[in-house]
Every structure is written in structure tokens, then in C-alpha cells.
Amino acid sequence: MSDLARKLAAWHQQSGRHDLPWQHQGPYATWISEIMLQQTQVPVVIPYFKRFMVSFPDPVALANAPVDQVLAHWAGLGYYARARNLHAAAQQIREEFQGVIPDTLADLTTLKGVGRSTAGAILSLGFQKFGVIQDGNVRRVLARLFLIDDDLSRADAQKHLWDLATELTPTDGVASAIHTQAMMDLGATLCTRRKPNCQQCPLAIHCQAHLADRTHEIPRPKKVKQRATEQWVVLHIVDANGRSLLCRRPNEGIWGGLYAPPIANSLSRIGKDFGIPKVLDAEEQSQLEHAFSHFKVLLTLYRLEGSVSCPPENVTWVKLDDFQGGLPAPIKQLLLER
Ligand code: SF4
């Protein structure tokens, strides 16, 4: 094991995170947590993870559940393709691997939504085998340690990072698991994006960005194109029995697979699509701004009492208070303020 990996392991024993609910729970818990953590912070993920594990305690339970139920457990976490992929991968595990999560990189990366890094985390943290990861925290730590002053999204920079990560990871399974967790923890707690705490860092004497006083500019910030705020109209249609019309959103695109009232750029567009001649009689109720990763949207909620004459497919009338399916968090917030 390298001097650097040894120091990191010693630091982790003293100062790493040891009480996250998915730690030491086996490969299934590692897999679920890794997917949830891909775009979401630890404190947000914890309650979702706990609920998910109660409802779907193993891959077969997940595979056998209706996808709508899985999406309902995901509502509020965003990036819903992750939940659909988890469900599809659980079905692959049930059909192709007798319900048991495979323990090789080659097999794991055949699962829907499981890339090389997630597979590496499942191998090392879940199975205590050699496995290499490359999430955002680890990329940042490596870029600083080795002063990689490149656009990290470029293929050659990524290959360089994978080579460094592989070289640094101990080959022994238990040591690999400690190293993986330690790299994640260092990135999350000391080597943060802004103001890394180099005074406390066990790797400071090895860190080229720190030694060159360039931690503030490594890694290079991503160029994010800002899109203008979009305006969306949400039409809450309520029938004579107090039931609301919800549409299952297409799997591809925003809030894919979740349920929401009709949404479009204008009331008249919804009126045409759903056959509502008096759509302009709808009353404005409230507004909410919501930020996605690359753009913002201003949602305006309207309410209309009545029915529709040509509902498209995937439409359902429900009592909102009894509805068990997944609603996007901002839509839920708008409707609950009704
Ligand atoms: S010395 Fe600072 S910049 Fe370098 S790895 Fe440690 S915390 Fe990160």
C-alpha cells in the first residue's frame, strides 16, 4: 500500500464517517445509496434511503414492485431516470442472476444505470473486494493532489484520473473498501469545493495544488450555460366528485414517470390537447419558481371545475388526498396550497 493510502486510511479511522445508514449493509444497500447520492446530498438522501429499504428490502422485492410505487418513493429526489433504471436493473438481477447482485465489474456494468464507478463502489463497499470509484468528490481530490489543470470532462483527463485512482486503490479487498470510503469522506468533509481545510488534511504534504497554493482554481470550474427562466402553466382540473385529473408524464424528460396535472406553455395549448373549450375560464391560484440543474421555471397554477372531452392516454382521475403515486415535489407543493 502506498504511503498516501496508508495516511488516508489512518485519517479515516479517526475522522471519517462511520454511521451512514447504508454502510456495512452489503451490496444492495451500497447500490441503492450510490444511485441516490449521484445528484443529491447525503442529508437529503438519508430519509429516502431508509423508506426505500423498508419498502424494497432486496433486489427481488424491488423487481416485483410496480414501477409507479418505486417512482413514488423517489418523488422529490429528482432525476427520475435513476429510479426507473434501478427498477429495470433489479429485474435484470432477478432474471439473469437468480436474484443475487453479481460481484464482478463485467457483470455489474451490464445492469441498467450502473457505470464503472457505481460498480466499483458496489465491489469495494458492498463486497469488500477490489473496486475503484470516480465520483465528483474523488475527482476533485485527485485533481488537487496531482495538480490536474485540465477540463476534467475531457476523455483524456478522465482516463488520467481513472489511472491515478486505480493505482492509489489498495488491491486487498478490505483495504480497498476503507480507501474508497476515505476518499469519499475526504472530498465531502475536508477537500470541499470552496475553502478546502488543508490544515487538517492528512495528505497535505503530498498535495501539489496545496503546495502550489492553487487549491482555489483546481479543479477548473465547469462552464455552465444559463438558460432563461421558462414559464409553465399547470392546470388543476377538478370534476364534480372532487377528483383531480393527473397525467403520467412520459418516461423521457422532466419528471419522467411521475404524475402531474396537465402542463404546457399556455392555457390554450392545454385546452386544445384535452378538448376544453372554456379553458380560459380557469382561475389563477398561485405561482412557484423551481430550479432544475440547467434552468429555472416559473410554474403558474390554474384551477378549473369541469371535465375534459378528449383526454390523452395515461390520464387518471384521483382524489389527491388518497393518491399513492409519485408527484413531483414542486407540483405537490403547488397543489397542497390549493
Ligand atoms: S491538502 Fe487541501 S486541497 Fe489537498 S487534498 Fe487535502 S484538503 Fe484537498
Q: What is the residue-averaged pLDDT of the chain?
A: 93
Residues 35, 115: one domain?
A: yes
Which atom of ligand 1 is the closest one to the Cα of 140?
A: 8
Find the 199 Cα to ligand 1 centroid distance in Å: 8
- Global confidence as pTM: 0.82
Domain-located, residue 222: no
Rounded to whole angstroms, how far apart are CA atoms 218 and 151? 10
Residues 20, 148: one domain?
A: yes
Find the 185 Cα to ligand 1 centroid distance in Å: 12
CATH number for 324: 3.90.79.10
Residues 153, 8: one domain?
A: yes
Which atom of ligand 1 is the closest one to the Cα of 202?
A: 6
**Final residue belonging to a domain, choices 151, 184, 217:** 217
Our answer on whether the CB atom of 147 is closer than 6 Å to any ligand 1 atom is: no
Which residues have a Cβ under 8 Å from the Cβ of 77 and sit 6 or more positions away?
Answer: 36, 40, 44, 45, 48, 83
Find the 163 Cα to ligand 1 centroid distance in Å: 20
Domain-located, residue 320: yes
Domain-located, residue 225: no
Residues 268, 185: one domain?
A: no
Q: What is the pLDDT of residue 338?
A: 52
For atom 1 of ligand 1, the residue with the nearest CA is: 204
Which atom of ligand 1 is the closest one to the Cα of 204?
A: 1
Q: Are 206 and 191 in contact (CB under 8 A)?
A: no
Each residue's pLDDT tens digit, 162-190: 999 999 999 999 999 999 999 999 999 99
Find the 222 Cα to ligand 1 centroid distance in Å: 20
**Final residue belonging to a domain, choices 169, 187, 217:** 217
* CA dist 79 → 7, 84, 85, 90, 232 (Å): 36, 10, 11, 18, 19
Q: What is the pLDDT of residue 306?
A: 85
Each residue's pLDDT tens digit, 261-315: 999 999 999 998 888 888 888 998 999 999 887 889 999 999 999 877 777 778 8
How big is the CA angle at 42 (ends 328 and 144), to the nearest 5 degrees? 120
Domain-located, residue 318: yes
Residues 259, 156: one domain?
A: no
Structural domain for 329, as ranges: 230-336
Our answer on whether the CB atom of 215 is closer than 6 Å to any ligand 1 atom is: yes
Our answer on whether the CB atom of 267 is closer than 6 Å to any ligand 1 atom is: no
- Structurally, the chain folds into a number of domains equal to 2
Q: Are 242 and 310 in contact (CB under 8 A)?
A: no
Catalytic residue among 34, 167, 217, 313: 34
CATH number for 79: 1.10.340.30
Average of per-residue pLDDT across 147-166: 93
For atom 4 of ligand 1, the residue with the nearest CA is: 207
Residues 65, 18: one domain?
A: yes
Number of CB atoms found within 10 A of residue 197's CB: 11
Residues 24, 75: one domain?
A: yes
Which residues have a Cβ under 8 Å from the Cβ of 188 and sit 6 or more positions away?
Answer: 17, 42, 137
Domain-located, residue 79: yes
Q: Are 272 and 261 in contact (CB under 8 A)?
A: no
Each residue's pLDDT tens digit, 57-103: 999 999 999 999 999 999 999 889 999 999 999 999 999 999 999 99
ω into residue 328 within 30 of 0, thus cis? no
Rounded to whole angstroms, how far apart are CA atoms 333 and 99? 38
Q: Are 190 and 119 in contact (CB under 8 A)?
A: no
Find the 165 Cα to ligand 1 centroid distance in Å: 16
Q: Are 286 and 301 in contact (CB under 8 A)?
A: yes
Mutate to test the pocket of ligand 1, among 138, 141, 147, 148 (most ligand atoms within 8 A of CB): 141
Residues 204, 235: one domain?
A: no
Rounded to whole angstroms, how far apart are CA atoms 186 and 292? 28
Q: Is-catalytic flag, 95?
A: no
Our answer on whether the CB atom of 210 is closer than 6 Å to any ligand 1 atom is: yes
**Final residue belonging to a domain, choices 196, 217, 238:** 217
